């Protein structure tokens, strides 16, 4: 009788799935909201993106005038907002001024 050592189970080991490599959490997520990027707004308003970013940085500092824009801004992230949100409307208003 031969004793074959069994492999100890690793609790952190990935379990095989039928999704062909896709994690199960990706399927459970709902589709993300439509986002409006600064690039799209700049092309629509015919603005230089560099100047637009400068204007938005100044607007974010003025939280009394643009409160939703200041709340929505996250440092080191892309300038994009959910479509139709108050933050997007304030961003457009800041760029037109």
Q: Are 93 and 58 spatial neighbours (Cβ–Cβ below 8 Å)?
A: no
Q: Is the pTM higher than 0.95? A: no
Q: What is the pLDDT of residue 5?
A: 67
Q: pLDDT tens, 44-57?
A: 999 999 999 999 99
Over the stretch 12-71, which tens digit does the pLDDT of each residue have?
Answer: 776 666 666 555 554 444 446 799 999 999 999 999 999 999 999 999 999 999 999 999
Give the separation between CA 25 and CA 27, rounded to whole angstroms. 5
H or E stretch including 92?
Answer: helix 86-96
pLDDT category at 11 given cuts 50, 70, 90 is confident
Q: Is 95 a residue whose pLDDT tops 70?
A: yes
* Distance (Å, whole) CA 42 – CA 40: 5
């Amino acid at each position: 009788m031969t004793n074959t050592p069994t492999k100890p189970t690793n609790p952190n080991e990935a379990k095989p799935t039928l999704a062909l490599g896709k994690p199960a959490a990706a399927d459970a997520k709902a589709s993300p909201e439509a986002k409006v990027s600064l690039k799209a707004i700049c092309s629509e308003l015919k603005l230089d993106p560099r100047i637009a970013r400068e204007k938005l940085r100044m607007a974010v500092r003025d939280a009394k005038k643009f409160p939703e824009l200041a709340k929505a801004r996250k440092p080191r992230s892309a300038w994009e907002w959910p479509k139709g949100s108050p933050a997007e409307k304030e961003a457009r208003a800041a760029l037109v001024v």
